[in-house]
Structures are given as structure tokens and as C-alpha cells.
Copies of this chain bind each other. A is one copy, B any other.
Amino acid sequence: MPSFGRTLSEIPPSPLVTVDRLLRAGAHAEPVPLQQGKTVFEPCARPGTWERAEFGIAAHEHAPPAGVPALRSAFADAASRRRGTAVDPGQVLVTSGATHAIAVTLHAILSPGDEVLILSPQWLFATGLVWAAGGTPREVPVFLELSEDPGFDFIAAIERAVGPRTRAIYFNNPNNPTGFRLDERALGALAELAARHDLWLIADNAYENYDFSDGGFLDTATVPGAAERTFSVHSCSKTYAMPGARVGHLISPPGAEEILTKWSLHTLYSVSTAAQYTAFRALATPADELARRRARAEQAWQLADAALEIPHTRVAGGLYTFLGLGRYGDGAEFVRRCAEAGVGLAPGQVFGGHCDGWARLCFTAAPEEAVADAIGRINKIYWEGGLDR
């Protein structure tokens, strides 16, 4: 057969496949999959049928490329309330999950060889998305440093990484995998830096419902100077516990609609109409139900924090803590042993090139008792490792 052009050899096929295989091969009948990013919550909406009038379109009809108007309006209304300033439905692109929102953004802003700074450690597909869009990702380690020392000058670290080809800064706030949260002052400094170098900001808000801080979720676009340069990425996957729907959305500065819609159209024409309807219904979830889920996730964090005998990052938001395995030594071996003992963890290196000595634990991926039991087992492996090596 003829040859391929770009084989994405920079990207591992699927970073968590090894963990899955080890878990299945292990002796445990019911392994605890804390390597996954998920919650045990019921989905806020399920697929179903509807009357055409309710959504303005029937399920078998394809939606307009930018999204079903009723859903774009609903997302715009929610954003207007959150931001305290009007967001026009024209600024909203309905996407096939946050992954697609980020892919569309990167394709639109990058020319081949352009660079994207990724505040690291980061969501495990972020670097791959930059490669796939023809760009070059540059990880800028900041979150572990900030977790260790809130006074760490992360702006200086980013500033040093900015080069002539830098086009954007991607970050995930609250951060996956560390649970660190950039606050208003930090985001303000980031927006200033972006303005100084005329960079885009790509704010990945996948964990917006799981910000445990007193201030609650902070929309980067509300920070002074940020709105005109921020692509805000939102996902239904974590907020409404429905990753299978594959619905997210992108909110962009005014004036970007035509370009972004073209990129989206030329990836998949439009997002599944029925999936858009499921998201539309999920948007009607009462605020107190979402608050209840946030409180349950925070409680899961507190239980994990109290039970863990392994150094780990302090969580201000999100569904994860990052385990520091420096004392144990080989992080990959720790992950392997935990999998053999029926506990899935995600190996640190998939979140950043400097994270070999770390592993990610999702404290909401199983019921409380199962997480507690799993933590007991990995504590034991941790202490044993310190002795028999």
C-alpha cells in the first residue's frame, strides 16, 4: 500500500492501554479503575425522543454546522450569567466534546511549526492535539511547582518559554492532574503576559463544576484583558456525567465564528443532533443538584487525602490528586504493582515529560468504600517498595 503522510509517531497510541491490560490480567475480580477520569454520578440526561417543536429539529435531521440554535442559545445564556456580561449565541460553537473544541481551535490558530505552550502537567491529550494540528507543543512545568510553593513565579517560567513561533497558551483550570487552581490574580498575570506577546489563551474548563474553592469556578474570560484573546472550552462530560454524549462547546471572542465553523464543518459537518438534545436537557439540571455533586466530590477528596500515606498534591478542584513517588523510586513500577493488586492509577509521564515520578489517582471513579480499600492497598505497596528495593 502507499505510504502515510503524518503518522503522529510523536503520540503514544493510547497511554492508558497498558494499565487497562494489567488490570484485566491481574488476580482481582473487581479492579478499582482509579486511572480513569470519571465520577460515579448518574448522567444528568439520557438519550431519548422529543417533539420537533421542542428543539426546532428532528433527531434524523442533521444540525447546522455551528450547532442547533436552541442549544447555542442555551449555552450562551449560561455563559452570560456566569460571566455577568452578554455572550452572543454567535460566539458559541457546539462541538463533539472538549477534545473537538480544542482541535478546532488549534487548527484555526496554528500555521505549521507554530508553538503552543502547555502549562504542565496537563490533560493527557493536550500535546497530541497540538501535534495533530501541525503545531509543536512546549510543556512549561508550573503546577507541581505552584503546588509546592504558591509563591513560585510561574509567569517568569512561561515568559522564558515564549519564542518567536509561540501562538497560544493552553491550560486546564482547575488542573488535571494536580488539582491546583489558578486564582484571579494568577489568571490576571497570565492574561497580561498573553497581551504582551499577542498570544491566544486556550482555557480548558472541563472541571468547572468541581472547583472546591470559596470563590468557586473562575471563567478566564472574565479576567481583565482576557476576553478578546480567550477560547473557552467547556465539556458536558464531567459536569453532567455524560462523556458518552460527546458534547462540549467553545466560546470565542466575537469575529471568530465563520473561521471556527468552517474548521468544525470540515472535521465532522455537525454534532449528532440527538446528542445535542441530550445536552440541552442536561443544561436544565437544577443548580442545587450540581452543587450536591460538587460537595460529594470534595468529600471524596477529603477522604482520599486523609487515607493516603503517599505524598500527594493538595486539591482545590477537579477529580484527581497527583501522587509523588520520589521516595518509592520508579513511578512506572509503582503503577504496575498497583495494577497487579487491582488498583488502576494513571502513570505520571502521560501528563508531562517531567512527571515520571508521579501517578494520578481519580478519587471519584469508584464508590467511597472502594476508593478507601484501594488506597489501603496502594499505601501498603508504597511502604513495601521503600523496604525491598
Q: Which residues of A contact B (CB under 8 A)?
A: 1-2, 4-8, 11, 13-14, 43, 46-49, 57-63, 65, 95-97, 99-100, 103, 107-112, 114, 125, 128-129, 131-132, 134, 167-168, 198-200, 228-229, 237, 241-247, 253, 255-256, 258-259, 261-263, 265-275, 277-278
Chain B residues near A273 (CB, 8 Å)? 244-246
Given contacts A49-B46, A132-B107, A262-B11, contact A244 B4 (CB under 8 A): no
CB-based contact B267/A132 at 8 Å? yes
Within 8 Å CB of A49, what residues of B? 46-48
- Contact between A270 and B255 (Cβ–Cβ < 8 Å)? no
Given A95-B268, A96-B271, A97-B268; 5 other pairs, CB 8 A cutoff: A6-B108, A13-B262, A59-B242, A268-B268, A272-B274
Task: State the oligomeric state as a number of copies.
Answer: 2
The reply to whether B103 and A200 form a contact with Cβ atoms under 8 Å apart is no
Report whether B245 and A96 are in contact in the complex, using a CB–CB cutoff of 8 Å: no
The reply to whether A132 and B263 contact each other, CB–CB distance below 8 Å, is yes
A241 touches B200 (CB 8 A): no
Q: Is the CB of A109 within 8 A of B266?
A: no
**A49-B47, A229-B1, A244-B63 known; A266-B8 Cβ under 8 A:** yes
Check B198 against A2 for contact (C-beta < 8 Å). yes
Which chain B residues lie closer than 8 Å to A262 at the CB level? 7-8, 11, 13, 128, 132
Are the C-beta atoms of B103 and A267 separated by less than 8 Å?
yes
Q: Is the CB of A103 within 8 A of B268?
A: yes
Closest B residue to A98 by CB, please name it: B269
User: Which of A49, A60, A97, A200 counts the most chain B CB atoms within 10 A?
Assistant: A60
Query: By the criterion CB–CB under 8 Å, are B57 and A265 in contact?
Result: no
Q: Are B242 and A270 in contact (CB under 8 A)?
A: no
Choose from B8, B244, B266 the contact partner of A62 (Cβ within 8 Å).
Answer: B244
Closest CB of chain B to A268's CB: distance in Å? 4
**Nearest CB on B from A278, distance (A):** 7
- Measured between beta carbons, the chain B residues less than 8 angstroms from A244 are 57-63, 272-274
> Which among A59, A128, A131, A253 has the highest number of chain B CB atoms within 10 Å?
A59
Contact A103 B266 (CB under 8 A): yes
Q: How close is A320's CB to chain B, nearest CB, in angstroms?
A: 17
Contact of A111 among B6, B57, B107, B243 (CB under 8 A): B6
Q: Which of B63, B96, B167 contacts A2 (CB 8 A)?
A: B167
CB of A241, distance to nearest CB on chain B (Å):
6
The minimal Cβ–Cβ distance linking A247 to chain B, given in whole angstroms, is 8
